[in-house]
Structures are given as structure tokens and as C-alpha cells.
Amino acid sequence: AADMGTDLERVLVTEEEIQNRLQEMAAEIDSDYHGRDLLLVGVLKGAVMVMADLSRKISSPIQMDWMAVSSYGSGTKSSGVVRILKDLDRDISGKHVLVVEDIIDSGLTLSWLVANLESRGPASIEVATLLRKPDALKVDVTVKYVGFDIPDEFVVGYGLDYAERYRNLPFVGLLAPAVYS
């Protein structure tokens, strides 16, 4: 079974750092969208924590919806071929959409998702992510709100999983190589 004590090499972003940064991002979002109806679209399952904490730091009333996508690929790497497992419940035409992600790794999932959502005619579409790995990016994706740029290493916690585990950690940690090798 997973052991939180020994499975992690070290903490990369602490709970306090995450919450402080989300507060700053929420303030930016508040000022950028003031007076506009904002729809947050969370990408299941990883974005659940970011969505819950970021949305509660936004002062204006927002709406939330969720998508679940699965990207086909070899093993843990995504390929850019994406399948919708759960679509949005509502039409987004004319809405200001902010896609909320936990991490942008290769960027392939997000780039497909943004193109898909753009084709539905939103008034605007932007992206907010807690983490981004600049060295792992394979496609250009415009991301307006980035929490932290991190090295290209195996991170878990705060929504991010390894084999569905560790999502409930309140911080982001580096997985010990022994766990996945």
C-alpha cells in the first residue's frame, strides 16, 4: 500500500505556498473579469483541488462546470489524442470561460481541449494552471494564469496522481523513484 512517509522524496511546493499563490491568482482573475460572467471549467480529476481552493478565493460570483478527458498514449505520457469521458453540462457560447488545470506537462491535453472549447463559440477562453513544466512542453499553449513553473520531474499531490494515488496530499511532492521504477 502507499505510504505517504516513504513514497515522497521531498516537498516541492508547500501547502502555504500553494494557497498564497492561488490567492494572488484569484485577485488577478477578479480584476480581469470584474463585471463579467465567468465560467470555470475544471478538468477532472486532477483539477479538483485547484478548482475548490481557487474558486473560493475569487470574490465575484462564478459558475462551474467540469470535463473529463482521457488522452491515449504509451504508459504515463499523453499523446495528444484525446477522448471526452464527460462533457460540459451546458452550452458555453457567449460565455467567458476559464479552464482550470492542476498541471500542464506536454500541453497536449490542454491544446486539444482549448481548440475543442473554442469551436463552441465562447466569448473568451483562457487557462489557469497551478503548475507548468516548461521543459516538458511539446506544443505552444497560451496560459494566462500560472501558479508555479516546475522542473520536469515526477510530481504528485494536490490533485496530481500516480496510479490514482496521492491526489489528497495538501502539497506537491516529488515521488521517490523507488515507487515508480
Contact 50, 100 (CB under 8 A): yes
- Give the C-alpha separation, 104 to 107, whole Å: 5
Among 42, 46, 147, 173, binds Mn ion (CB under 5 A): 46
The grid cell for 14 is 508547500
Pick the closer one to Mn ion by CB: 30 or 44.
Answer: 44
Phi/psi at 67 (nearest 5 deg)?
Answer: -125, 150
Catalytic site residue from 7, 30, 105, 152: 105
Stretch that binds Mn ion, among 24-32, 39-47, 145-153, 170-178 (CB under 5 A): 39-47
- Contact pattern from residue 130 through residue 169 relative to Mg ion, giving x for each residue in contact according to CB under 5 A and a dash for the rest: -------------------------------x--------
Q: What is the DSSP string of 48-102?
A: HHHHHHHHHH--S-EEEEEEEEEEE-STTS--SEEEEEE--SS--TT-EEEEEEE
Any contact of residue 41 with ligand PRP (CB under 6 A)?
no
Residues carrying an active site annotation = 105
Could you list the residues that contact ligand PRP (CB under 6 A)?
A: 43-46, 71, 78, 101-110, 161
